[in-house]
Structure 1
Amino acid sequence: MTTQPRIEHHPDLAEMRSRFERVTSTPRAQAVETLALITGLYLAASPWIAGFSGLGPLAVNNLIAGLAFCVCMSGLGSAYERTHAMAWTAVALGAWTIIAPWAIAGEMDTTRTVISNVITGAVALCLGLAMVAMAGRERAG
């Protein structure tokens, strides 16, 4: 009976880890992660900052989506090899943030809710795509 080497020592896995470490240690990746955390925190607090906390369901949605966005993007810098799929979740959260005023608030939406969510959602979407693109560019290279 032969002993199989453990997967942690496989050369391809070591190469993949070093590539992901190179991606996340660049100033660009760190800037994307920082901006994403700020965006997520703003999204979570936006009902109170933009003044639409009276729209209960949308305020709760923004709080949950903002915190989820922070969680998705915060793990990318330290453990990208295990969490890179979460960048796609961040993209979906950005898209949802854009359409949430119409999907949730309905007739109660105001100009400030729409503007706040559309701009924040677009920024979140772009930051998620930027993180996905950084990993794709590194894999292709």
Structure 2
Amino acid sequence: MADLSHRGDISEHPDVSEMRARYARTLRGGMPMVVDGLVLLVGLYCAISPWTVHFSTARPELLINNLVLGLAIALMGIAITAAPARMGGLSWTLGAIGVWMIISPWVVTRAPDAGMIWNNVVIGAVTFLLGCVAAFASMRANKET
């Protein structure tokens, strides 16, 4: 049987530079993961907002809009977290979805009330800001690699 006990210094290991680089990337990766988690939470709130703000029966067209876009935002948050290198460009679409969420009460419905307007404006602004932060973090990570 082979002797697997540790002998010598770890700095002599052939993969030590790769392990150090991976450790450094892991330490730098905390902030984007927080942003992606917030994107997921904003998406989930957007999906349930017609019921929390109580316009699900009054404006079914806005209900469908918020439900579909909320689930899309949540799935994008999961995708960006799971594969940040491949989904970095997708972060920019969060900005477009955020702008749509801001203007959607006037485009989708005829006479939105104040609760619908404030709900979608806040969701849209937060989605836009988180999308910009995620996109810039992805660009910075791609430059470093």
Question: TM-score when scaled to structure 2?
Answer: 0.76
Residue of structure 1 equivalent to 2:128? 125
Indicate yes or no: 2:117 matched with 1:136.
Answer: no
Counterparts of 1:122 and 1:48 in 2: how far apart (Å)? 20
Aligned residues with identical type, % of pairs: 33
Unpaired runs of 5+ residues, structure 2, are: 1-20
Residue of structure 2 equivalent to 1:98? 102
Q: Which 4+ stretches in 1 moved above 6 angstroms? A: none
- Summarize deviations over 1:3-39 as a string: whole Å, max 9, x none: xxxxxxxxxxxxxxx89x9389622111101111110
Counterparts of 1:47 and 1:67 in 2: how far apart (Å)? 13
- Summarize deviations over 1:64-85 as a string: whole Å, max 9, x none: 0000111112111221122112
Q: Is the 8 A contact 1:44 1:64 kept in 2?
A: yes
Residue from 83, 86, 93 that aligns with 1:82 = 86
Unpaired runs of 5+ residues, structure 1, are: 1-17
**Could you say what secondary structure the match of 1:51 adopts?**
coil
How many angstroms does 1:137 deviate by? 2.5
Q: Which has the higher contact order (CA 8 A, sep 6+)?
A: 1
Counterparts of 1:49 and 1:136 in 2: how far apart (Å)? 36
Cα distance change of structure 1 residues 50 and 24 upon mapping to structure 2, 3 Å threshold: farther
Residue of structure 2 equivalent to 1:5? none
How many angstroms does 1:92 deviate by? 1.1
RMSD of Structure 2 on Structure 1 (CA): 2.2
Which is greater in Rg? 2
Q: Is the 8 A contact 2:40 2:77 kept in 1?
A: yes
Counterparts of 1:111 and 1:31 in 2: how far apart (Å)? 31
Residue from 67, 73, 83 that aligns with 1:69 = 73
Question: TM-score when scaled to structure 1?
Answer: 0.78
